[in-house]
Amino acid sequence: MLQQTQAHRVIPKWHAFMAAYATPSQCADAALGDVLELWLGLGYPRRARNLQLAAQQICALGEFPSTLDELLALPGVGAYTARAVMAFAFERDAAVVDTNIARVYARVGGVSLTARQVQVAADTALPVGHSWAWNQCLMDLGATLCRPLNPACDSCPLASRCAWRGTGDDPAIGSAGVSTRQSRFVGSDRQGRGRLMRAIADGPVPAQRLAQVMGWPDQHERAGRVAATLLADGLVVLNNQWYRHP
C-alpha cells in the first residue's frame, strides 16, 4: 500500500483492509471486486489484484514464504518488497534499497549507480546480524538528512566519507532506485482510470458513458483506450457493453 502512496492515506485503508482480510485465506477467497472496492482511494489498483494473487499463492504453498527466491516468486513482489519482508518481518540479513537508501549510496559513492551496483553496495555494507536496525537507520537518514532537496550535509554522520557533500552535480539524479517527480495527475490517464474504478464501485457503467465518466466527454477514443488497459490488467470486465468489477 505504501508503494507510491503517502502514509497518511495508507493508514486508515490498512486498518480497514486488515479488518476485512486478516489472513491470506480471507483475501484469497474474496471476490476481486470487493478487494478493489476496499482499495479505492489508494490508486494503482493493480497492486490490489497482485496482493490477492499473492494471497492465493501463499495459501497454495501452505505457509508464508521467507526466503528471497520464494518472496520474489509472489505476484507483484520485487527486489525491495522481498528484502523488506525478510529484514523487517523475519529479521533476517537482507539489504533493503528504497529511494532514500539508493540516494544515500549514490551520493556517498559520488556516482550514479545501476540497479545491480546499488544492490551490491547495499549487500556489501550490511552488518551481519543487524539488518533490522541498519535498514531503518539508512531509511531515516535518507528521509530526514540526505533529502532530495536541501540535504542537511553538515548534520549528516556520513559527511566525512561522502564523495558529494552537496557540491557539484548530484550523482543521485538518474541513479537507479531514486524516484523522480511523477507526471501531472490532473487530466492524466491515471485520473481517468481512477474515475472509472470509482464509478464501477457504485454499479456497472455502460460503454457509451465511458468518456463522460472519465471526465473527457469529447474524447471517446482515449476513454476506450484507457478502459482497455483496465481490462488487460483484469481490474474490470466488459459484459454486453457494460463495464463492471470482476
For the whole model, what pTM was predicted? 0.80
Element spanning 214, H or E:
helix 210-214
Claim to verify: residue 104 and residue 175 sit in the same structural domain: yes
Q: Is 2 domain-assigned? A: no
CA distance 115 to 102: 9
- pLDDT tens for the 246 residues of the chain, in order: 988 788 899 999 999 999 999 999 999 999 999 999 999 989 889 999 999 999 999 999 999 999 999 999 999 999 999 999 999 999 999 999 999 999 999 999 999 999 999 999 999 999 999 999 999 999 999 999 999 999 999 999 999 999 999 999 999 999 988 876 666 778 889 889 999 999 998 899 999 999 999 999 999 999 999 999 999 999 999 999 999 988
Domain final position from 34, 64, 94: 64
Apex CA 26: angle with CA 22 and CA 31, to 5°?
130
SS3 244: strand
Segment 194-223, tens digit of pLDDT: 999 999 988 999 999 999 999 999 999 999
Segment 164-176, tens digit of pLDDT: 999 999 999 999 8
Q: Is 31 domain-assigned? A: yes
Domain count, the chain: 3
Q: Give me the phi and psi of 67, to 5 degrees please.
A: -95, 160
Domain final position from 127, 151, 181: 181
Q: Is 95 domain-assigned? A: yes
Claim to verify: residue 42 and residue 129 sit in the same structural domain: no
CA nearest 31: which of 8, 12, 49, 57?
Answer: 49
CA distance 195 to 85: 32
C-alpha distances (whole Å) from 224 to each of 15, 190, 214 are 35, 14, 10
Claim to verify: residue 177 and residue 97 sit in the same structural domain: yes
Q: Return the C-alpha cell found at 231.
A: 481490462
CATH of the domain at 167: 1.10.1670.10
Q: Is 113 domain-assigned? A: yes
Claim to verify: residue 205 and residue 174 sit in the same structural domain: no
Could you list the residue range(s) of the whole structural domain that residue 213 is in? 189-244
Buried b (16+ CB within 10 A) or exposed e, 119-148: bebbeeebeeeebbebbeebbebbeebbeb
Q: Give me the phi and psi of 206, to 5 degrees please.
A: -70, 145
